[in-house]
């Protein structure tokens, strides 16, 4: 067949320009490297943990289109398991984090197998119900310390060499964990597997009729997301040297939705910026007590009404770049 | 009706299908022999598209028999039917908007050996080569149709179900699609086509089935077209 004049070619929207991701990544890397010298390392470490948590959540909502309302389960329980194994079993931090992440992975397999059979609001409700079941278990179980949580978790020495008691060492280890998770997510969404996930998000019926067992892909994405959320939660337990009920309760599942939405669903850097803004707000407005929640609610409403793509999503759309 | 050729590639008998409470197919029976291009004709709402969707298992409920290469498919899931070697190109084309042309083209899994290579697809549709990095939804209707057909050729499926591939396209593109279907037939592909554009269908089809009210009511070969024209006008209302 000869090339022919094609009718109705749509040239109205300019093409997406390349180069946005490397530039944004370089800026993020520079900021992470410099941050402990200009602000409190502990605050930035918390931001990095929440950023990884939100990136993991975004892998599911942004690239598969599944809204989990129970991601606190993986974040909070990995935090408990990591804190317990580091404090009671005496595991070194790297093994404690891995154990926490493995527990989150196991929970992800069980919860994901049940939840992916349903879609939309039913999917969200199943994930929420399972997370709340595990919240009550955390509240009742003895090893979690009930309302007191697990306090005084030792940071220890990573690989027997890196003394995490040193704030700067702890900071760069946290940064390395975040960057590893971030780059892993980047690799996932730019792999053939990621393309199938995007195809499922856009038109699952079509992906099925092309021959894909979409449930398997959704489950794999769910488990990856839960595991990475677990890495974030476990790292947070080492950073803050505690695990608490707050991390496993439903407002935490809501907070990660807000972080991802504010930054930009389906963008790489959106959850990172969202985590920075929400945590900075909580930190700066801490003197206003519960009013922080009102401010967060207002931001949520404004975000949905005014910039539905999120901050990074709007920037990417304005400059016609991928972020 | 023509005698059934034994060993048909696709045999459908008493196929019934429902969308929710609506009973759409009322016992459709037809067959497609290997290497044939068979066209389903009928007025809007006759059940042509539903027949293709029922073959692929993407309707709410279906009963009857759908045999492909002698294997019963009626209880299989849609993805298993695709992996059995049947590929479906829907009317709305189903291009994934966030993927570019290359990603859309490379996405389908290879269900069998013998799928067309990228170069072979570009030989059929040179326009796609020029638009490789364009987003799927930035293509014209004709290019989207080429991509939708090209994409299923990669899978290695030998039976292609094409649902109104010429809908909304300019005459020059329709001609291209027709040439492509003839080339595919020469390469041994079997095609079940749903088409409203009878003039186009008559240039590619070996046989026709006429559908009305969810059933096949008539069948004739392309060589018998002239004897059946009057009847056909009556069926199709043209």
What integer pLDDT is reported at residue B7 of this predicted model?
64
What integer pLDDT is reported at residue A6 of this predicted model?
43
Interface with B, mutate which of A189, A210, A268 (most B CBs under 10 A): A210
For residue A175, being part of any structural domain is answered with yes
For residue A184, being part of any structural domain is answered with yes
> Given CB atoms, is B6 within the 8 Å cutoff of chain A?
no
For β-strands B71-72 and B61-68, DSSP reports them as antiparallel
A308: CB partners within 8 A, 6+ apart: none
What integer pLDDT is reported at residue A4 of this predicted model?
44
For residue A215, being part of any structural domain is answered with yes
Complex ipTM:
0.85
Position with higher pLDDT, A308 vs B23: B23
User: Average pLDDT of B181-201?
Assistant: 91
Q: Residue B156 pLDDT more than 50?
A: yes
Task: Output the DSSP codes for A82-138.
Answer: HHHHHHTS---HHHHHHHHHHHHHHHHHHHHHHHTTS-HHHHHHHHHHHHHHHHHHH
For residue A116, being part of any structural domain is answered with yes
Q: Residue B3 pLDDT more than 80?
A: no
Q: Which residues pair with B194 in a beta bridge?
A: B40, B163
Q: Residue B63 pLDDT more than 80?
A: yes
Give me the residues of chain A with pLDDT under 50, please.
1-12
| Closest of A183, A203, A177 to residue A59, by C-alpha | A183
| Summary mean pLDDT of chain B | 90
Q: Residue B238 pLDDT more than 90?
A: no
- For domain B10-236, give the CATH superfamily: P-loop containing nucleotide triphosphate hydrolases (3.40.50.300)
Report pLDDT digits (tens) over A265-292.
999 999 999 999 999 988 888 888 778 8
For residue A305, being part of any structural domain is answered with no
pLDDT class of B205 with cuts at 50, 70, 90: very high
Q: Residue B84 pLDDT more than 70?
A: yes
For residue A119, being part of any structural domain is answered with yes
Q: Residue B1 pLDDT more than 60?
A: no
| Closest of A147, A141, A102, A111 to residue A129, by C-alpha | A111
Longest dimension (CA), chain A: 74
The four Cα atoms A73, A76, A77, A79 give a dihedral, to 10 degrees, of 160
For residue A15, being part of any structural domain is answered with no
Sheet containing B71-72: give its strands across. B22-32, B10-19, B61-68, B71-72
Q: Model pTM greater than 0.95?
A: no
Q: Which helix (H) or strand (E) holds B16?
A: strand B10-19
> Given CB atoms, is B12 within the 8 Å cutoff of chain A?
no
What integer pLDDT is reported at residue B25 of this predicted model?
95
| Closest of A235, A252, A215, A222 to residue A105, by C-alpha | A222
Report CB contact under 8 Å: A208, B82.
yes
Number of domains present in the structure of chain A:
1
What integer pLDDT is reported at residue B168 of this predicted model?
85
What integer pLDDT is reported at residue A10 of this predicted model?
45
Instruction: Please give the Cα distance from A286 to B212 (Å, whole number).
Output: 70
Q: Count the neighbouring beta carbons within 10 Å of the beta carbon of residue A131.
A: 26
Range among A95-109, B114-128, B171-185 with highest mean pLDDT value: A95-109
Instruction: Please give the Cα distance from A101 to A303 (Å, whole number).
Output: 32
What integer pLDDT is reported at residue A199 of this predicted model?
94
A1, A16, A203: residue with CB nearest B179: A1
Report CB contact under 8 Å: A211, B155.
yes
Report pLDDT digits (tens) over A186-208.
999 999 999 999 999 999 999 99
User: Average pLDDT of B126-153?
Assistant: 88
Name the minimum distance, in Å, from the CA of B176 to any CA of chain A: 6
For residue A93, being part of any structural domain is answered with yes
Domain extent for A234: 40-249
């Amino acid at each position: 067949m000869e090339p022919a004049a094609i009718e109705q070619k749509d040239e109205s929207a300019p093409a997406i320009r390349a180069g946005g991701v490397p530039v944004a990544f370089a800026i993020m890397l520079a900021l992470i490297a410099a941050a402990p010298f200009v602000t409190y390392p502990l605050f930035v470490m918390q931001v990095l943990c929440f950023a990884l948590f939100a990136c993991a959540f975004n892998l599911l909502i942004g690239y598969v289109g599944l809204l989990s309302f129970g991601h606190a389960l993986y974040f909070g329980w990995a935090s408990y398991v990591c804190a317990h194994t580091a404090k009671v079993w005496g595991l070194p931090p790297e093994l404690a984090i891995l154990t926490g992440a493995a527990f989150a992975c196991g929970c992800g397999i069980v919860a994901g197998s049940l939840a992916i059979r349903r879609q939309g609001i039913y999917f969200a409700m199943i994930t929420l119900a399972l997370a709340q079941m595990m919240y009550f278990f955390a509240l009742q179980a003895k090893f979690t310390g009930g309302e007191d949580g697990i306090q005084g978790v030792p940071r220890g020495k990573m690989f027997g060499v890196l003394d995490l008691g040193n704030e700067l060492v702890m900071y760069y280890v946290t940064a390395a964990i975040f960057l590893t998770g971030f780059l892993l997510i980047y690799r996932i969404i730019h792999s053939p597997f990621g393309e199938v996930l995007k195809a499922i998000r856009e038109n699952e019926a079509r992906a099925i009729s092309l021959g894909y067992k979409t449930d398997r892909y959704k489950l794999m994405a769910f488990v990856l997301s839960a595991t990475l959320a677990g890495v974030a939660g476990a790292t947070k337990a080492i950073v803050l040297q505690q695990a608490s009920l707050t991390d496993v309760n439903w407002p935490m599942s809501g907070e990660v939705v807000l972080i991802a939405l504010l930054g930009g669903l389906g963008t790489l850097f959106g959850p990172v910026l969202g985590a920075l803004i929400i945590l900075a707000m909580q930190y700066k407005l801490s003197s206003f007590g519960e009013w922080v929640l009102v401010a967060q609610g207002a931001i949520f409403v404004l975000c949905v009404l005014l910039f539905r793509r999120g901050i990074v999503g709007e920037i990417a759309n304005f400059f016609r770049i991928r972020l | 009706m023509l005698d059934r050729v034994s060993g048909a590639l696709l045999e459908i008998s008493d196929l019934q299908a429902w969308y929710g409470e609506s009973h759409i197919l009322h016992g459709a029976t037809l067959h497609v022999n290997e290497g044939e291009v068979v066209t389903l004709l009928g007025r809007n709402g006759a059940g042509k598209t539903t027949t293709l969707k029922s073959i692929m298992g993407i309707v709410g409920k279906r009963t009857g028999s759908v045999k492909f290469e002698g294997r019963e498919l009626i209880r299989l899931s849609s993805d298993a039917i695709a992996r059995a070697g049947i590929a479906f190109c829907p009317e709305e084309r189903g291009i994934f908007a966030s993927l570019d042309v290359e990603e859309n083209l490379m996405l389908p899994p290879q269900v069998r050996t013998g799928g067309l290579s990228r170069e072979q697809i570009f030989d059929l549709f040179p326009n796609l080569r020029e638009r490789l990095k364009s987003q799927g939804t930035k293509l014209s209707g004709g290019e989207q149709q080429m991509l939708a057909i090209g994409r299923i050729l990669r899978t290695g499926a030998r039976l292609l179900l094409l649902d109104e591939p010429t809908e909304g396209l300019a005459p020059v593109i329709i001609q291209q699609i027709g040439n492509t279907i003839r080339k595919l037939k020469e390469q041994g592909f079997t095609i079940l086509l749903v088409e409203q554009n009878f003039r186009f269908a008559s240039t590619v089809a070996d046989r026709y089935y006429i559908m009305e009210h969810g059933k096949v009511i008539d069948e004739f070969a392309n060589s018998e077209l002239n004897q059946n024209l009057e009847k056909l006008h009556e069926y199709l209302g043209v």
